[in-house]
Amino acid sequence: MKVHYIACAASSSLDAATNQLSLFHILDEISGPAFPLPVPSFCVAALFEREANDAVVQAFVLTVSLESVLIASFTMSVDFSSSRRNRSVNTIRGLTIPSTGLVTISLLQKTRVLAVWEALAIESGTRSTGTKTAAKTAAAAEPRMAGPKNALAVN
């Protein structure tokens, strides 16, 4: 199983004529006037590719953590039907970020981390520095990761 990209945004749109996905307001920061901060909704998009011998239906877990403390966990399945590639767009609603810090959205299959997206939770009026938005492959990733990190395009 391979994840070509994972990205988080405030909203998304799928063009019916071309099947092209558009993401709006990429989440590299989550800001608000005070914490805990309710986040009404955001979407998580990922492009999966299965190996020829992988099952047609695959199970995954999407987790949201703040500074390594789990905030939420969601199960999802991807049905590849007759295709080896499948794009998944999931909307998460009603999440509350308890405090400022690094928010990590992880895509796992069993215990294997396939991809990670990071965004800084900050108070409004503060500017973040060092937000990670560059693509990383498994070879260049931190040891705890096995896939792209904030990857909009990965070979």
Residue 21, amino acid:
L
Residue-wise pLDDT for 26-49, tens only, equals 999 999 999 999 999 999 999 999
Q: What integer pLDDT is reported at residue 82 of this predicted model?
A: 81
Q: Which of 103, 105, 107, 93 is nearest to 61 (CA)?
A: 107
Q: What integer pLDDT is reported at residue 138 of this predicted model?
A: 36
Q: What integer pLDDT is reported at residue 126 of this predicted model?
A: 73
Find out whether 84 and 52 touch, Cβ atoms under 8 Å. yes
What is the mean predicted confidence (pLDDT) over 115-121? 97
Q: Which residue has the tokens 């900050």?
A: 122
What is the mean predicted confidence (pLDDT) over 13-31? 95
Find out whether 74 and 87 touch, Cβ atoms under 8 Å. no
Q: What integer pLDDT is reported at residue 128 of this predicted model?
A: 64
CATH numbers and ranges of domains, the chain: 2-123 (2.60.40.2550)
Whether the pLDDT of residue 146 is over 90: the answer is: no
Mean pLDDT across the chain, nearest whole number?
A: 85
Find out whether 78 and 86 touch, Cβ atoms under 8 Å. yes
Going by pLDDT thresholds of 50, 70 and 90, the confidence category of residue 151 is very low
Q: What integer pLDDT is reported at residue 9 of this predicted model?
A: 97
Cα–Cα distances (Å) from 68 to 51, 73, 154, in that order, read: 31, 13, 25
Going by pLDDT thresholds of 50, 70 and 90, the confidence category of residue 140 is very low
What is the mean predicted confidence (pLDDT) over 75-93? 94
Whether the pLDDT of residue 86 is over 60: the answer is: yes
Q: Give this prediction's pTM.
A: 0.79
Count of other CB atoms within 10 angstroms of residue 132: 15
